[in-house]
Structure 1
Amino acid sequence: MSKMLKAYAPASIGNVSLGFDLLGAALSPIDGSPLGDEVEVSSSQSFELRVKGPFAHKLPADTNTNIVVDCYKMFAEKLKSKGQRAQPVAMTLYKNLPIGSGLGSSASSIVAALHGLNEFFDSAFEQHELLLMMGELEGQISGSVHYDNVAPCFVGGLTLMNNASNQIALSLPVFENWYWVVCYSGISVSTSEARRILPKQISIADTITFGQQLAVFVDACYRKDENLAAAVMKDVLAEPYRKSLLPHFGQSRDFVMQNGGLAFGISGSGPTVFAVCNDLSKAKTIQHWLNDNYIQNDSGFSHICRIDSQGAQAS
């Protein structure tokens, strides 16, 4: 009997400014539109991958180099180690997120592919096993294993990474009244290149500030102190270097903070930026300004989002 399902994995904000490689947030546009990649998995006589969607043309024409192929290969190998066999499947990647956007594009493809495969093969792996696979595959693209995109994309919510135990993603309380305005400028920034621009060492002062801000933010989330949480959402590690890659970043920050924004920062490696507001009318004002002043070409877009609490889904 033939079988088919489709998995969806939402876009995400990596770092969330103050949590370099340690904080991530899944996104859900308030207008109900999807913002994430989808992968369809169906029964087949042999493995094949098709790529469709608005950003499919940005991927290499040779599908054998696509990360989704690597997802299937890893999944099949891990399944074999359990004494099971992965039957051939046909997969279709709907590439809805732009590449090099700072919205967790590669993570979305990886999560949708592995979540879809796991559901297709009757939940062969537990959440932790899948997250380890997702992090390893993400590392192949970005140059280092980190979970701040794949974890929130998979499990949803605002997540704190914890590599020292079997619970990689720790869910943090969120401020339900916060709106997250995300704006993709239309240009591309390579994650690996954006990591290379960073210094190899950081000062003791910046290290202390980073640790203090992250600790205070987590405490503020649990105590529901949104003013304190927003006040420490400043990036002392990456933004001072990466902002040079983003045209009009400083001007955009000034407008956001002068017009009701609680916080403003770079989403992941950029070029997408995000603004946090607790008032919808102010979020719309900021969105309109970013549309007119931050977007660089016809590929750019913006959304007003909430935190996506569901993460990856399959149907």
Structure 2
Amino acid sequence: MELATEKEPTGKVGKERDQVHVFAPATVANLVCGFDILGLALDEPGDEVIMKRSDEPGVRLLKITGDDGRLPLDPSKNTVSACVQMLLKHLNREEVGVEIELHKHMPIGSGLGSSAASTVAGLFAINQLLGQPLTKGDLLPFAMKGEELACGHGHADNVAPSLLGGITLIKSYDPLEVIPLPVPDSLYCSVVFPHVDVPTRAARQMIRAKIELKDAVVQWGNIAGLISGLFMGDYGLIGRSMEDVLIEPVRAILIPEFYEMRKTAMEVGALGFGISGSGPSVFAFSNNRQTAAHITEKIVQHLRSKEIDSNGYVSSINQHGPREL
């Protein structure tokens, strides 16, 4: 897959390198009404990968930090190393040896695209190490394979924005077509991760297999309204379109204080509020950083009053995706 908007040169490989240090951003998927087709990249948090050349062929995952020992070091079972292996095989470069360190700076199972950020960091790193033989668009199918390994479903709503930056629309999966959407200048995200466990697989299994036509019509209208609002920079339309009648009512059951958090966010100026990915993280849009910071602070305070710990973030939309450190 290749994006028409990519500015990277194709067919031209640069100088190969011995070491790279890469950051890849967390993401907010679905954006309330766009289940599996919409997502955005955040400035923070994110994951880091340090990748070094090795004289011994093959991919080795030497170290993982920030995961509380939950992630496998087996290179065939960890999304970072497994995707690097796939990419090297695709390029007929299996003679290349690399050693990887993964440093996680976001919670696993947070609904912030934790596995996607790690996978994207690894793929971006190996591509940089090899002199950028592929574009970011070329890397996307490999990142989706990582999502399939991590959660059993190779969706792109996390990996696409993490890799490409900005806000992305997955127009179709077969064939894969990803469309970058405009980002209004003053659009900010408040993100809060409550320390409760909502496994991605369990959250997906709760979704209804069949929906009523009247609900589908409402959902289509909201998706169209949200995308129109982004193109026009119409913050009111963006906010009015952030309604989900299909997925949120089911998944909200798994998130303590969800409706109270939404009420708090809207009372202090949020444009709209919803679940980030499969949760338990929640997010709100606002049209300035000060309001976004206030929303995050108030939600964190509310959760603390209910004896629920949380992490809070305030971010503009990351329009670049992964970067070297």
Asked whether the two chains share a fold, i.e. TM above 0.5, the reply is yes
TM-score (norm 1): 0.90
Q: What does 1:31-50 correspond to in 2, within 5 Å? A: 35-46=45-56, 47-50=59-62
Instruction: Name the structure 1 match of 2:312.
Output: 302
Instruction: Name the structure 2 match of 1:13.
Output: 28
The answer to whether the Cα contact below 8 Å between 2:255 and 2:280 also exists between their aligned partners in 1 is: yes
Deviation at 1:16, TM superposition (A): 0.6
Identity %: 33
- Alpha-carbon distance in 2 for matches of 1:119, 1:292: 42
Deviation at 1:250, TM superposition (A): 0.9
Instruction: Name the structure 2 match of 1:65.
Output: 77
AA matched with 2:124: H
TM-score (norm 2): 0.88
Instruction: Name the structure 2 match of 1:269.
Output: 278
- Alpha-carbon distance in 1 for matches of 2:110, 2:95: 33
Distance 1:85 1:52, change over 3 A: closer
- Alpha-carbon distance in 2 for matches of 1:182, 1:135: 24
Q: What does 1:276-295 correspond to in 2, within 5 Å? A: 276-294=285-303
SS at match of 2:157: coil
SS at match of 1:8: strand
Q: Deviation digits for residues 284-304 of structure 1, max 9, x if unmatched?
A: 332222112236655x31111
Instruction: Name the structure 2 match of 1:139.
Output: 148
- Alpha-carbon distance in 1 for matches of 2:17, 2:266: 54
Deviation at 1:102, TM superposition (A): 0.5
SS at match of 1:237: coil
The answer to whether the Cα contact below 8 Å between 1:102 and 1:271 also exists between their aligned partners in 2 is: yes
Distance 1:166 1:195, change over 3 A: closer
Runs of 5+ unmatched residues, structure 1: 30-34
- Alpha-carbon distance in 2 for matches of 1:172, 1:118: 25
Q: What does 1:1-315 correspond to in 2, within 5 Å? A: 3-29=18-44, 35-46=45-56, 47-60=59-72, 65-80=77-92, 84-163=93-172, 168-294=177-303, 300-315=310-325
The answer to whether the Cα contact below 8 Å between 1:159 and 1:171 also exists between their aligned partners in 2 is: yes
Distance 1:148 1:2, change over 3 A: closer
Number of paired residues?
A: 306
AA matched with 2:84: Y
The answer to whether the Cα contact below 8 Å between 1:115 and 1:314 also exists between their aligned partners in 2 is: no
AA matched with 1:72: V
Instruction: Name the structure 1 match of 2:13.
Output: none
Distance 1:281 1:2, change over 3 A: closer
Instruction: Name the structure 1 match of 2:11.
Output: none
AA matched with 2:48: E
- Alpha-carbon distance in 2 for matches of 1:246, 1:130: 33
The answer to whether the Cα contact below 8 Å between 1:9 and 1:37 also exists between their aligned partners in 2 is: yes
Deviation at 1:183, TM superposition (A): 0.3
Q: Which one is further off, 186-195 or 150-159? A: 186-195
AA matched with 2:30: N
